[in-house]
Amino acid sequence: MKILVCISNVPDTTSKINFTEGDTKFDTNGVQFVINPNDEFGLTRAMWFKEKQGATVHVATVGGAQTEPTIRKALAIGADEAIRINAEPTDGFFVARQLAEVAKNGGYDLIIAGRESIDYNGGMVPGIIATLLDMNFVNTCVSLEIEGTDAKAVREIDGGNETIATSLPLVIGGQKGLVEESDLRIPNMRGIMMARKKALHVVEATDAPTMTADVKFEKPAAKGPVKLVDAGNIDELISLLHNEAKAI
């Protein structure tokens, strides 16, 4: 089985976010970038298929040279090869088109992408890839088992989970639950050293239109002041909840 894991290069959730040029551009100064968490769950599941079933695992990202430390981390975790599509990830359709082109030429049986990236939360890339490649698709996937060309996937739905029987080739949009957080891997020194010797192919982007454009960013409103109430003053607490917070 040959697997492609799609990786997004996203800001660490602890980073302080700012914008420039009249709040129209994201300011990358001082921001630490990481593997998109939903993609990391997918990468970890792909590593399980590699170790248990002998799968070959490639990773791919759309981005400039600044994304290479992130994709090198994926190699250090255990992916066999990496592909960087040399283009700025302008919107979801553009990114999906680039990844689909790589996948089309790679003969992959399984394509794993995160259901959404944590920066723009578009949630469209895996579905567009599946459409462009005419592959089966399961989104919000929290479990995946494969036997031969048969697959059993569990996806999250409102109020519960749904189990789906399908077949390869397959695209999934993975998320937390595909593996447990405790299963996520931190590269060890041996993995880091081996990653330096693994192939990282840089390919140029194919022509694809950009369907959307960012016009302006706006931060959430700052948190308002808080009032502290003495632990023993229940009457004041009830009064504030009733008259000011309107919570009761």
Tell me: the pLDDT tens digits for 111-138? 999 999 999 889 999 999 999 999 999 9
154: left (phi over 0), alpha (psi -120 to 50) or beta: beta
95 pLDDT exceeds 90? yes
Express each pLDDT in 200-230 by its tens digit. 999 999 999 888 888 999 988 888 888 899 9
Map out the domains of the chain as residue ranges. Answer: 2-220
- One of 3.20.20.70, 3.30.590.20, 3.40.50.620, 3.20.190.10 is the CATH number of 2-220, namely 3.40.50.620
Query: What digits encode the pLDDT tens for the residues 40-88?
Result: 999 999 999 999 999 999 999 999 999 999 999 999 999 999 999 999 9
Please tell me the distance from the alpha carbon of residue 70 to that of residue 32, in angstroms, as a whole number: 10
Dist CA 46 CA 100 (whole Å): 18
Q: Is 196 left (phi over 0), alpha (psi -120 to 50) or beta?
A: alpha
CA proximity to 114, closest of 141, 79, 84 = 141
Model-level pTM?
Answer: 0.88
